[in-house]
Structure 1
Amino acid sequence: MVTICEMSDSDDDDVPQLSSHALAALQEFYAEQKQHPDPNGDDKYNIGVIEENWQLSQFWYSQETALRLAKEAIAAAGEGGRVACVSTPSVYQKLRELRSKLLSVCLFEFDRRFAVYGEDFIFYDYSRPLDFPGDVAAHSFDVVIADPPYLSVDCLRKTAETVRYLTRGKILLCTGAVLKEEAARLLGVTPCRFLPTHCRVLANEFCCYANYDSGLDHDV
Structure 2
Amino acid sequence: MSDSEGGETPQLSTHTLAALQEFYAEQKQRIDPEGDDKYHVGIIEENWQLSQFWYSEETALQLAQEAIAAAGKGGRIACVSAPSVYQKLRELHREDFSVHIFEYDTRFAMYGEEFIFYDYNNPLDLPEKIAAHSFDIVIADPPYLSEECLRKMSETIKYLTQGKILLCTGAVMEEQAAKLLGVKRCKFTPQHTRHLANEFCCYVNYDSGLDCGITI
Bucket of the pairwise TM-score, normalised by the shorter protein: 0.7 to 0.9
SS at the partner of 2:52? coil
Name the residue aligned to 1:104: 98
* Cα distance between partner residues in 2 of 1:92 and 1:107: 6
For residue 161 of structure 1, report the CA deviation from its aligned partner: 0.5
* Cα distance between partner residues in 1 of 2:70 and 2:102: 19
Name the residue aligned to 1:206: 200
Q: TM-score, normalised by structure 2?
A: 0.87
* Cα distance between partner residues in 2 of 1:49 and 1:73: 21
Aligned match of 2:128 in 126, 134, 148? 134
Name the residue aligned to 1:174: 168
User: Is contact 2:139-2:167 (8 Å) kept?
Assistant: yes
Give 4+ residue runs of structure 1 displaced > 3 Å after superposition. 22-30, 36-39
For residue 17 of structure 1, report the CA deviation from its aligned partner: 1.6
Aligned match of 2:146 in 141, 152, 157? 152
User: Is contact 1:7-1:121 (8 Å) kept?
Assistant: no
For residue 179 of structure 1, report the CA deviation from its aligned partner: 0.7
For residue 100 of structure 1, report the CA deviation from its aligned partner: 1.3
| Alpha carbons of structure 1 residues 104 and 28: separation in structure 2 relative to 1, 3 Å | farther
For residue 18 of structure 1, report the CA deviation from its aligned partner: 1.2
For residue 154 of structure 1, report the CA deviation from its aligned partner: 0.3
For residue 40 of structure 1, report the CA deviation from its aligned partner: 2.3
Name the residue aligned to 1:195: 189
Correspondence 1:53 to 2:33: no
Comparing 181-190 with 94-103, which one deviates more in the overlay? 94-103
Name the residue aligned to 1:8: 10
Name the residue aligned to 2:72: 78
SS at the partner of 1:161? helix
Name the residue aligned to 1:18: 17
Return the letter of the residue paired with 1:18: L
User: Is contact 2:41-2:57 (8 Å) kept?
Assistant: no
* Cα distance between partner residues in 2 of 1:122 and 1:82: 14
* Cα distance between partner residues in 1 of 2:149 and 2:96: 33
* Cα distance between partner residues in 2 of 1:217 and 1:82: 23
Instruction: Give deviations 1:95-138, integer Å, cap 9, x for gaps.
Output: 11113112110000000011111111110000000001110000
For residue 28 of structure 1, report the CA deviation from its aligned partner: 8.7
Instruction: Give unpaired runs (5+ residues) of structure 2.
Output: 1-7
SS at the partner of 1:85? strand
Name the residue aligned to 1:63: 57
Q: TM-score, normalised by structure 1?
A: 0.85
* Cα distance between partner residues in 1 of 2:171 and 2:9: 33
Comparing 62-71 with 92-101, which one deviates more in the overlay? 92-101
| Alpha carbons of structure 1 residues 94 and 7: separation in structure 2 relative to 1, 3 Å | farther
User: Is contact 2:79-2:100 (8 Å) kept?
Assistant: yes
SS at the partner of 1:115? helix
For residue 24 of structure 1, report the CA deviation from its aligned partner: 7.1
Aligned length: 206
Instruction: Give unpaired runs (5+ residues) of structure 1.
Output: 1-5
* Cα distance between partner residues in 1 of 2:109 and 2:183: 30
Return the letter of the residue paired with 1:209: Y
* Cα distance between partner residues in 2 of 1:163 and 1:200: 27
Return the letter of the residue paired with 2:146: S
